[in-house]
Structure 1
Amino acid sequence: IDPNNGANEILAVDDINDTFINLPVSGDVSTNDLNADGPAGTEVFTLVSGPANGTVVFNADGTYTYTPNLDFVGTDTFEYQICDGGNPIACDTAIVTIEVINVTIGNEPPVANNDTNITLVDVPVNGNVLVNDFDPDGDPIIVTANTNPTNGSVVVNPDGTYTYTPNAGFVGVDTFEYTICDNGTPALCDTAIVTIYIINSNTNITVANDDAYNGEINTVISGNVLDNDNDPEGDNQTVDIAISPISGPSNGTVVLNADGTFDYTPGTDFIGTDQFVYEIFDDGSPVATDRATVYLVIQKTPAPAIAIVKTGIVNDENQDGCANVDETISYTFTVTNEGNVPLSSISVTDPLLEAPNPVVPIILVSGDDNGDGILQETETWTYEADYALTQIDIDAGQVINQATVEGTDPDSTVVTDLSDDDSVFEDDPTVTEVCQNPVIALIKTGIVNDTNGNGCADVDETIDYSFAVHNLGNVTLNNVMITDPLVTVVGGPITLLPGEVNNTAFTAEYVITQVDIDNGSVENQATVTAEDPAGNTVSDLSDNDSVLEDDPTITVLCQNPAIALIKVGIPTDENDNGCPDIGETIVYNFSVKNTGNVMLSNVTITDPIVAVVGGPIVLAPEEEDTTTFTAIYTITQADVDAGFVENQAIVEGTEPDGNVVSDLSDDNSYLEDDPTIIDVCQNVSIALEKTGQFNDENGNFSSDVGETISYEFAITNTGVVTLYDIYITDPLPGIEITGDPIAQLEPGEVDTVTFTATYVITQEDIDNGEVVNQATVFAEDIFGNIVQDDSDDPTDLTNNDNNGDGDPDDPTVVTLPLVLPTTFEIFNGVTPNGDGFNDFFLVEGISNYPVNNMKIFNRWGVLVYETDGYGGSNDSENVFRGISEGRVTVEQNKELPTGTYFYILTFPKENPGQESYNGYLYINR
C-alpha cells in the first residue's frame, strides 16, 4: 500500500485458525485486513481457492466455516480476496492457514501458527511469535531457529520476541520462517511463517494482529491481546473495552481489560473452538483503530492418571487405650481416577500385606457403581485390609509403608501411583502411629531374718529384699536396673518383654541398726529404670504390694518397749532408837533398766509421796541406771498410824514413736511390781489425868452435903499413833460427865476441855473426909483396836501403875478442905516467853512458908526440877521457868518442851493448911 501513488489501495492480511480433528471451525478474515483509504464498509470477500483437506463455507462479509476432512490432522489453507467499493476498485488476496490437531496421550508436538505484522517504510517492527503458538501437552516451548527475510533483517530470540527491520525504502510484503520446539522426550518441533507488511502511508495507523490460545477443558485461559499488536508510529495502544469484545465468545465468557489482559472461561465441560473480536485504538492524531480476532482452542487432552490415598486406624480391640500385639490396623485405600479417561485392570498391592508377612487380601468394598470394572473419571474406589501388629511394630512406635495402584487407559498405557497419606498430589508413605506406652513397675518386699529366734528384730540381724519387676507397657524395655538408696542391689541389667515379670534377677540384704528398731520399721523405696525402644528412660518407684501404687516398702521391726524400776528405802533413824519415827526420813534409791529393745528417752520417775530428784535420762536397750534418781521422805503421823510407809514409784520413758512406756516399782526385782514397804514403830497408848475441885457453894470454907466437886480431865495421846472416838467412863455413883466423844487426838496432843464432871457430896463423903475414885478413857487406833487407861491423879506422887502400861494410875482423891486463914494459891500455867505474864510457875503466898521443897516431873515421871525455899521472899525468887535443872535423863539448862508436868510441894514445918500439895502444871511455848 502506497497512498502516495494516488491509486485506491486495500491490504488483505493472512489469517490463522486452529481446530481439532473432525471438528469444524469458524472465523472472520475481515478483522485484520486494512482499507486505509476507504471507502469503509464497502469491502466484499470472495473465496479464491478452497482447502485441500477439507471444505469451507465462505461468506461475502469475510466470515467462514472450515470443516476438515474425516480424521485429517495437519495444516490446511484456502485463499480469499477482498475488494472495496472505491474508484477504481482495490482488491487484494490473503491466505487462511488452519491447523488441525489431534490430542493424544503422550508427547505431542507444539503448534506454530503463522504470524503477521505491519510497519511503515523504513520503520523496524517488534513482535512475539509465541503469543499465538502453543503446546497441546502444556510443555514449555522456545524458538530454536529462523530464516532470514528477503527484504529486510530480523532478530528472533528464544522467548519468541523479534525485531524486523525492512530494507531502506522497501514497500511490500516480506517473510521469514521460525521453528519452535518443546522440552519433551524426544523434543518435538513445528514451523510457521511470519509475514511483514511494509506500507508507505502518511495516515496514522495502528495494527491489531490475530491471536491464538490453547487451553484445557474447564480451565481459564489468560493472556494479553496487545502482546503481538503493533503501532508503527510508536503510539500507545489501548483496548476499547467500551465496545470489546465486538463479537464472541460463543462458548464461554471473557473479561477483557484496557491494557490487553484477558481471562477467558470456557463453558462447563466445553471442548472445541471459540473466538472473540476486539478493537484497539492508539493515542495518535488522529486516533487510529484496528480489530483482530482471538482464536481459542479448548481441548481435553487424554491424561490418564491414577492416585491412591492410604490411611490407617489402629483398632484398640481390648479397649485398654493403647496398641497391643495382634491388634490390627484397618487400612483404607482410596483410589481415584485423576485423569480424563477411564481406567481398567485396577490393582492395589501392598508389601506389608504380602509374604514374608502374613498374606492379607485387599478387598474392594465400594465405588464401582455400575460393576463394570472400569474406574471412571468420576468414581472413587475404596479398598480395605487389616494388618496385625507385631511387637516390632509397637517397639518402633509406628508402621510406615506405601501401597501401589495400577490401572490401564484405553490406549493400553499402564499408569501407577504410590500411595500418599492424605493427598492425591503427593507420594508420602502412610505413617500409622502406634501408641507406645512404656510402663515399668517394681514391687519390693522385705523379710526379717530372726537369726537368734527370739521372735523380734535385733541389731545386726538382716532384712532380705526381693524385687519383682513388671513390664506393664506395650514395648520392650532394655537395660532394666534397680537402685536403692538403702542397700546395694545385686543383679541386672535385664530385658523385659511386655507383660513379662522378673522376680529373681535382683536381690539385696540390709543390716538392721538400733535406729531402725527405734523407728519400728525400715522404710524406703527402690527405683527401677529402663530404656524404651527410642532410648527414652522410663522409671518407677517401688511399691510394697501393688504395681499400681508407689508406696514405700515398710518392713515392720518388732518393737518391745519395756522399762523396769526397783525402789529401795533406807530409814535414817536419826534418834538411833532402832525404829523409824515421825519426822525422821527414809532415803529412797531407784534402779531403772531399759528391758526392751528400743531407745527410751525422757526417762523420769514420779512418786506419789515424795519428790524424786534426778533425770530425765536416756536409756539404751539393756542399759541400767542406779545413780541418777533419789528421794528423801519424811515420816508423817499417817505413816506412824499405819505402822509402815508403803508406796510405789512410777518410771516413764518415751518410745521413739512418742508413746510412753511405764512400770510400777518393785522392792527388789525388775520382774515384779510389789510396793516398797518400810515398817514404822508403833506405840499405841493414852493417858487420863483426873483432878477434882471442891466447890464451897455456901462459902463457909467447909464441905457440906449437897455441895459439889467439879472434875476436870486431861486426856493425853501418849503414843505415836493417832487415836479416834475417845470417850470417858467413871464408876463413881451419881457423877455426871459432860462432853461428846473426841473425834481424833494426835500423838502428844492433850485435851483438857472436852470432858468435865460434877459430883454432889454426900454425908458419907463428909464422914470419910474425902472422895476417891478413878475414871477410864477409851480410844481406837486407825485399825479399830481399843486402847484404854485408868485415870491418874497428877497430885498424887505415889504413881502406882496398876495396869502396867507405864503410866501412873493413882485414883483421884479430893480432900474435903479445911478452912485456912491465909491466902495460898497454886497457878498451873507457865508461858516462859519473856512477856512478863506467867513466865514462871507461880505459887502465891508461898513466901509465907519459906521452908518448903518443890519437885517437878515430866509425864513419864522423870524429875526435871527440884529446889528448896521455892518462891524466895516475894513468891518470884528461886522459881521454875521451864528450864531443866539437870538429871540423869534430862540435860541441864535444857528448855523443856510444851506439855503437861507434875509437881509435888511439901512443907516440913509450917504449912498453909496441908503438909503436901501435888498437881499438874502446863508449859506452853
Structure 2
Amino acid sequence: YSATQGDVDAGMDLVNTATVVTTEVPGPTSDDATTTITQTPNIALTKTGVFDDNIIADGYAQPGETITYTLTVENTGNVTLSSVNITDPLPGIVIGALSDNGGNGATVLAPGDIETATATYAITQADINAGVVDNTATATGDCPDGTVDCASDIDSHSEPLFAPPIEEEFCTYTKGFWGNANGKHEGQTTKQILDGFDLANNPVVIGVPGVASITIKSTDCILALLPGGGPSKKLKANQNVMVPMGNSCDVSQSVQVNNNGTIKNGVVTQLIAFILNTRLEPGLLSVTFGDIEDRIGNCFNIPNSIAALGDHTTLAELITYANQVLSGQVNGSLNDLNTLFTDLNEFFDECRPFSCSGDNPGPMAGANLELTKGVDNESPNVGDQVTFSIRVINYGPDQATNVVVEDRLPSGLSYVDDSGNSSTTYNGGIITWNIGTMDNQEEIWLDVIATVNGQGSYTNVAEVIHSDQPDPNSTPDNNVISEDDQDDATVIPATQSGGDCCEDGDKPRRLALRYTAENCSATDHSQSSGSVKCSNSGALQNEVYIVARDDKKGYTWFTGYVTVNSTFIADAAAAGQSKLRPKTLVYIYASEGGQLLQAIEFHTSCSQPLVIGDQFGAIELVGVDHPNGYVCGTIAGLSSIHADASGNDDGSIKILAYPNPASNFVNIELQGIEDDKTTIEVFDALGRLMLTRKVAALDEMPIQLKLPDVINDGMHYVRVKNDREIKTIPIIVRKTIFSTKQ
C-alpha cells in the first residue's frame, strides 16, 4: 500500500488487517499490522533584497527610492500547510500575494512546494542617515488538524544605503532674480527657467494641503508673487490672510500662521525662492545641517531654534518643517526661518563653492594635503621586518605642485627599502619622496620597509615638508604632530617567552596561526597526546578556506581564505568574547562550502602548554596574545590593547560598525573621542593595513569608509587609536549581496 498525502495530513495510524478463510475448523483467522505516521510540519523562508535606484539612478539612495524584496517560502515538512502568510514589521513595506506555483491556492503549500512573493519599501531620509535598512520577515502556516502557525521561519536582510556625495559648488539666486522675468542664468532667462520647471504638473506648494496652503502652478504666479519685475505687494506683509491676486495661482486655503496670527511676506517669498533654487540645484535637498556645519560652519550660522532639529536634518526636511510652521501645525520662529532661507539663497548666489573663503565669494585658493600613516605589525620580534604605509591625499580645491614627503626612521630601526615613487632619496635615516604634482582628490601610497634591531619603543614620523600652495589647516615642515599633514606609527617589539606562553599570561584571547599545508603526520607539539586530534580527508591546497571555532558554544574565531605560509588570527573578540574557550577546532576546506580537507582540535585555554612553533597538522602556532597585555611570539598588525566585539569595554572610546557584515562601505560611529588626533585603521586578517582615516572630535557621525577594491571577503579589524588608548573590533567583509538566515 502506498501512503497518500491525505494519510499523512490526517495523522492517523495505518491499520491493515489480513484474513484467511477456510472451510475447515476452527474457521476464519485474521491478523493486523499498524504503521505509525509521524507529522513533521516545517517551513523555510528565504529573503533577498535589491536597492532599485529608481529615481535618479546614480547609485546613491534618495528618499522615495525603493528596495525590492523577494520572499521565497518552501514547505520542507511532510504535511500540507494552509493559510501560509508572510509578515514584516518594517513600517511602510508592502508585501504582494504569494504565487500559486503548486496550483492548489496561493496560501496552500504541499510538501516540497515553493512559492514566492515580492515586497517593496520606499526609503526614507532616516534610512539614508542610518546607512542601512535592516528588517526581518516571518513565514507561518497552519497544520491540517487546525493548529495555527504550527510551522514558522524567519529571515533577515540588511540593505546598505549610500548617501549622495555633497556637491562642491551650488548655484542659487535671490527672490529678486526669481521675480524678474528677464534675469539670466547660463544663457536662459528666468521666465525660460521657470517654464522648464513645468509648474502646472509640479507646482510649488507653500503650507500643508488640507490644513492651510497655496499652490503655485504657473510662471506668471511666481513673477507676480516675488519682488523683482513683478508687483510684489500682491503678497501682503503682516496680514493674517494671504490671497495672491489674479488667476495665476490656485489658492486652496489661506495661509495662516501661529505667530500672533500674522504672516510675514519675507518668510513666504524666501521659501518660494529657495524651493525654486532646489529645482535648479536638486543636490541642495540632500545637504544636511551637519554638512553645513562641516563645510561652512565658520562663515554661516543656522539659528538655534532650527539647529535643534538635529545635524541629520536635510534641507528637504527643512522645507517640510517651514511649511508646517506656516500652516500652524507646529510652533516655530518665523524670524529665524526668514533669516535662514535668506542666507541660504544668498550664500550660493550666482554660483560659489560649498566652503568658506572670508568675504570673497569666489573659490578658496590652496591645496589641502592630508597625510596618514600605519604599520603592518606593531609588536614584531627583534630581527623582523616591518612595513610602514603612508597615504597622502589632496583634498583641493587646487592642484598641489612640488609636493615633498619626508619619513624619519628612529634609531632601533634599519632602512631596508621603500616604494611608491621613483624620485626617492635616503640619507641618514630620512627617506624623502619628491612627489611633484597632485591633482584635486588624488591620493598616493608610500611604503617604508625597516628591520627591528632591538627591544624598545620606536616611533616613525612622516610629514609633508613642501607644497607650493597654501594649506588651510597645516604648515609643511613645522613638525607639529597635531596637524593633518603629519602622522606617526609606533612599534614595540614583543617579549619572547622561549617556552610555554601560558607561564606569563592568562587564558589567551588571540592566536596567530600559520597555514603550512602539511598533513596530520607533521603534528609536533608540547601538549599531551590525548589533547590534540587531527584527521585528513583530502589533499591540502595552496589556498584553502579555514574556519576556527570553539568545540561547544558555536563561537567562531575566524573564517576566510588563507594561502600557504600566511598567518590568520583566531580572535575571541570575533564572537564577542574576551578569551578563547578550552578547545579550538580548526576546519580546513577546499573552498567556502567545499570539501573538508583536514580537521584539527587542540587546547587553547592554557590547561595545556602553548609553545611558539607547536605544529597541529597544517597549522603552526606563531603568536599568543593574553588579556593582561602579554604577547608571546608575533600577533601581526594588531595592538595588544584590545576591546570586546562592540568596542565598548571600560575605556572611553566606544565603537559601532555597521552594516556588519559589510560590502563596499562600512559606517563607523565613535563616542568618547575628545581631540583631533584620532585615527581609524582597517587591517585584514593577515595584519596588512588596508585603509586609514583621521577623524576629529567634531566630525559628524557615522563616518562612512569606502572599502578598497582589493579587500577580500573574510574577517577584518577596525582599530581606533589616539594618544590615550587603542580599541579594536572585528568586522566581516562580504563583497557580494548577502542574506543572513536567523
| Band the TM-score falls in, shorter-chain normalisation | under 0.3
More contact order relative to length (CA 8 Å, sep ≥ 6): 2
Higher helix share: 2
Q: State the TM-score, normalized to the length of structure 2.
A: 0.24
Q: State the TM-score, normalized to the length of structure 1.
A: 0.20
Higher Rg: 1
